[in-house]
Structure 1
Amino acid sequence: MVVRSRHAETAGDLLGITFRLGYATTACLFLTFFLVVVVAQVRARRFHPAFYWAVTLGTSVVGTEISEELADRRRGLEAPACPVL
């Protein structure tokens, strides 16, 4: 769990802060990644560890980005949000 959280935080910060995409845009990108790997996992005819870990990582990243977006809004740092959020 700790490893996934650290990866989620690092990946989110890389895109959101280093590449200056913002939390909302980064959350949308990772939400798209998450949905793609979930569909791949569900459609797979057998267990694939790569899909499992991709879904797990996607869940952590999306959750981290959404919580950071909500935390910034509470501090008054309004940003354009993904329509899903």
Structure 2
Amino acid sequence: MRDKAFDICRTFLSGQWDNISSDDLIINKISIGLSNQLYICSLPDNHKPIGDEPRDALLRLYGQTIDGDDYKVTDSLITMLLSERRLG
């Protein structure tokens, strides 16, 4: 799990995220649903963000869904809208 989260964070984030190792990444499990898992991935305290990069990132790992790929698109859209409105 750690290596997968590390690879995803390094792929989509930049700055200090490129300067840490997998062992440095801080991962906290938020919840485990029936099919999805949520984690907060964070930079260690000794690595300050560069510019406007995030210190923390929400990582959602999808499991099996009974509704197919449409559920992933809808769920991602809802997450984006909540984020834009600073509601989640």
Is this a same-fold pair by TM over 0.5? no
Q: Which has the higher contact order (CA 8 A, sep 6+)?
A: 1
Structure with the higher fraction of residues in strand conformation: 2
- Could you state the TM-score of these two structures normalised by the residue count of structure 1? 0.30
